[in-house]
Amino acid sequence: MTPTAVDQVLELVSLLQRDMALSFERDGLTEARAHLLWVLRDGPVTQRHLADALGVTPRNITGLVDGLVDSGHVVRRRHPTDRRATHVDLTPEGRRVTDAMVEGYADMHDVLFGGLSARQLAAFRRTLDSVLGRLRVRLEEEWG
């Protein structure tokens, strides 16, 4: 059976997930922890902020940060003004990992689009943009 367009898109999703999961694993990370680290690239933030950024409960962030503290990627610091809050920041090791992630981001461009002409890539991006637009609308309408 030749794959449908939806098949193709779902395979893309599947392959990308697998690729990223393997890449994270190489750094001793899980997807959730890698995601958290990614948010910390731009500087220390509050756990509450992380919860909002990752779309999970604050309680869950406590656990993820615990793990990343144990693995040496992250430290908890006193928030400069709010004594209730904690600032989570990257350690040098954490910074090394996020730097590698940024590089991997660039590599991914080459892997995905390296074989395409500028013209073809531009057309692909335009179409993708329209697809994303419809998908966003659908999510908004269907699930609020």
Which residue from 24, 96, 111, 118 is in contact with its own copies, where contact means CB under 8 A? 111
When asked if residue 82 is in the footprint of DNA (CB under 7 A), the reply is yes
- Our CB check for its own copies shows the closer of 31 and 82 to be 31
User: Distances in Å between the alpha carbon of 132 and those of 23, 67, 113, 122?
Assistant: 26, 34, 18, 15
* Nearest distance from C-beta of residue 78 to its own copies, angstroms: 31
Note whether 18 binds its own copies by CB under 8 A: yes
Helix axes 31-40, 47-54, angle to 10 degrees: 120
SS3 percent helix, strand, coil of the chain, rounded to 5, is 70, 10, 20
Paired sense of beta strands 74-78 and 45-46, if any: unpaired
Contact between 95 and DNA per CB under 7 A = no
121 CB-contact burial (10 Å; exposed 0-12 / middle 13-18 / buried 19+): middle
- Please give the Cα distance from 30 to 131 (Å, whole number): 29
Report in angstroms how near the CB of residue 38 gets to DNA at its nearest.
Answer: 13
- Region of 60-68, 69-77, 83-91, 107-115 interacting with its own copies (CB under 8 A): 107-115
Q: Does residue 32 touch its own copies according to CB under 8 A? A: no
Site of interaction with its own copies (CB under 8 A): 4-6, 8-13, 15-19, 22, 105, 108-109, 111-116, 120-121, 123-125, 127-132, 134-136, 138-139, 142-143
